[in-house]
Structure 1
Amino acid sequence: MDQDDDDALALDPGFADRFERDTSRPPCQLYLISPPAIDAGFRDRLAAAFDAGPVAAFQLRLKGLDDHAIARIADPIQRLCADAEVTFIINDSMALAKRLGADGVHLGQEDGDPRDARALLGPQAQIGVTCHDSRHLAMEAGEAGADYVAFGAFYPTMTKEVRHQPDPSILGWWTTLFEPPCVAIGGITPANAAPLVAAGADFIAASGSVWGAPEGEAAAVKAFAALLGG
């Protein structure tokens, strides 16, 4: 079977349905995404979240602000992430990630090529790519050198408009066939995350379910930690 045949098979939806979690991969981890707006008290809330359970990565995602404004907000948050050994990711902007010396950047489909991000940010940067519900986009991102791919939204979410809703089997398809990790994103809570973990997610991304949790962010992170075994 040649490469074109391999690619065609990997893109076959029925082929994806044959897979489930690869137990040889590391346990699933929590990937926090910032709320849409951040006030002066957010650093303390983030510190409480970090103290409540293992957090692998934090993405600063502030739509509608220019890079200068985000840079001012980012400084204490980035230092907190460094102290907690949590990977600090900037959303969308390669230039801002470079300016801040962030650990990486997360790119939407309109935010540029992972190859350009790699050239700008260097070999150690963590480069993630949103791939929605598309196996094709995920394979392209992997070929372009992305360190992880993100699929979603798996559930309804108030954080952004939901235009793509993949089947959880896409997670097992990816992790069975490809080495880079995958992130499940979109409306994920401690109550609905288990099927995505079982399907193969390497990371569970959470935002509203943590920052909007009635019992507080620390309790929400503890609930994720209990599910993920942290």
Structure 2
Amino acid sequence: MTRLYLISPARIEHPSIFADELRAALDGGDVAAFQLRLKDVPDEAIIRAADTLRPICQQRGVAFILNDRPDLAVKLDCDGVHVGQDDMSCAEARRIVGPDRQVGVTSKASRHLAMEAAEAGADYVAFGAFFSSSTKPVTTPAEIEIVEWWSSLMEVPCVAIGGITVENCRPLIEAGADFLAVGGGVWSYKDGPEAAVRAFNELFAAHGSADREP
């Protein structure tokens, strides 16, 4: 069954204030992972946010993933790291974080890149963007068929990312995405983060129930 993978806002000016939003989101239901994805900020800002937010996630059994920085993922005792195609190779990230932390790899809309990442030992591959996003311009639009193809052939889980909301996510669930990575679709949801997580989980459960019907 599909699960939710939360992506942080691109800026977290006050981690202790955002911590309340994160707690509310996690109160809404099952969340597999939370990725701290802060762009163009000094290391001190990443460290401060991670030290505040990581315990909230780990105490609830939610994997805490750091974007781009395997070195800091080790230093800050994160559960894993996510690397993009412009960051470093999966093999290099794995060398830095070791065998016990997760390594996720952005594959954009490329079957070739995804297969390379899986062969290199990635714990998951991420496809996207599927929809326009308020946080990241769509440079490589992905077709939902790539999720269907991957989930029918591969055991390595796939994450769908890019502009995903409660309103538009059904085709990705039906295509077999293992995880939906969602940022603005949770933090900017009209009824708040807790309601967003609850709504996503209701959709996941409904699809899982339909799958089980004879």
TM-score (normalised: structure 1) = 0.86
* 1:117 match: 93
What CA distance in whole angstroms lies between the structure 2 residues aligned with 1:33 and 1:100?
Answer: 18
Alignment coverage as a number of residue pairs: 204
Q: CA deviation at 1:66?
A: 2.0
* 2:150 match: 174
What CA distance in whole angstroms lies between the structure 2 residues aligned with 1:158 and 1:167?
Answer: 19
Of 61, 64, 84, the match for 2:60: 84
Q: Which amino acid aligns with 2:9?
A: P
* 1:30 match: 4
Say yes or no: does 1:47 pair with 2:19. Answer: no
Q: What's the % identity of the aligned pairs?
A: 53
Q: CA deviation at 1:82?
A: 0.9
What CA distance in whole angstroms lies between the structure 1 residues aligned with 2:42 and 2:154?
Answer: 35
* 1:225 match: 201
* 1:212 match: 188
* 1:9 match: none
Q: Which amino acid aligns with 2:54?
A: Q
Could you report, residue by residue, the CA deviation over 1:65-106 in whole angstroms, capped at 9, with x for unpaired residues?
122221011112000011111000000111111111110000
Structure 1 outlier segments of 4+, above 2 Å: none
Q: CA deviation at 1:167?
A: 1.1
Structure 1: 5+ residue stretches without partners: 1-26
Q: CA deviation at 1:215?
A: 1.2
Q: Within 5 A, what are the aligned runs for 1:1-230? A: 27-38=1-12, 39=14, 40-229=16-205
| Structure with the greater alpha carbon radius of gyration | 1
TM-score (normalised: structure 2) = 0.93
CA RMSD of aligned residues (A): 1.1
What SS does structure 2 have at the residue aligned with 1:88? Answer: strand
Relative to structure 2, which stretch is displaced further, 83-92 or 111-120? 111-120
Structure 2: 5+ residue stretches without partners: 207-214
What CA distance in whole angstroms lies between the structure 1 residues aligned with 2:122 and 2:87?
Answer: 13
What CA distance in whole angstroms lies between the structure 2 residues aligned with 1:119 and 1:166?
Answer: 29
What SS does structure 2 have at the residue aligned with 1:65? Answer: coil
